[in-house]
Amino acid sequence: MRSKLVLTLAIVMGLITTFLFFDYMKQFNAETVATKTKMEVVVAAQEIERNTAITEDMLEIRLLPEEGVHENAVTDIKLAINQYSTADLASGEPVLSHHLQNGKEETLFVSRKIRDGYRAVSIGLNFPQSVSNLIEPDDQVDVIATKKNGEKIETEFAVENVRILAVGRRMIETTEGEPYVEYTSATVEVQPHQAVELVNAMESGTVHIALRTRVQSKEEADSDDK
């Protein structure tokens, strides 16, 4: 009888101890969360689509636990205003540094370099066809097409005086000290009918690029001044 009483008391005391332990831990966790260090983070106040110019009303500041904040989170709202979004952002989503790009970087998207009414067409090139890789973005070029007609080789201009948008994936001119990177294609800006002619030339034979000068003649300079 005595042993049963002792066992019962032991079980009751164990239950009480367990309850007190879990109650303490619950209070401890609540206090820990309440006392966690928080920091200001820039978040999207609304849905922001990719390639959107960000304005102040699209953003807001929220306090988030510091330990859960991404290392690339933007904490100064001024750094995000007037930037362009590089991804779709959901409402309430923290803005990260790689979600932003400035106006200069935005112009590097080839689709934003194309003038209204024009098209971009890429041409596969080997080293000689690309003027020994000496072509730079924004150069003016002619594209010469060559095809065999029986035993005869025919060569003609496919398009003339068109602008280079990119060489390989590079859309800006090489700067001094930048390492040389060989490319195997060039993207040109052409009118829609020229795009068809250029693709036809590439499918029918081979193409070469002829580089035009950037130096204006006196007649051209006088014409620009008028």
Q: Where are the domains positioned within the chain? A: 38-105, 112-213
Distance CA 36, CA 186 (A): 54
pLDDT tens digit string along 174-225? 777 778 889 999 999 999 999 999 999 999 999 999 999 988 655 554 555 4
CATH of 38-105, one of 3.40.50.300, 1.10.1040.10, 3.40.47.10, 3.90.1210.10: 3.90.1210.10
Q: Report pTM.
A: 0.53
Classify 201 as helix, strand or coil. helix
pLDDT for the residue 111: 77
What order of strands is seen across the sheet that includes strand 152-167? 119-124, 185-190, 152-167, 140-149, 206-211
Tokens of 7: 């066992």
pLDDT at 87 over 90: no
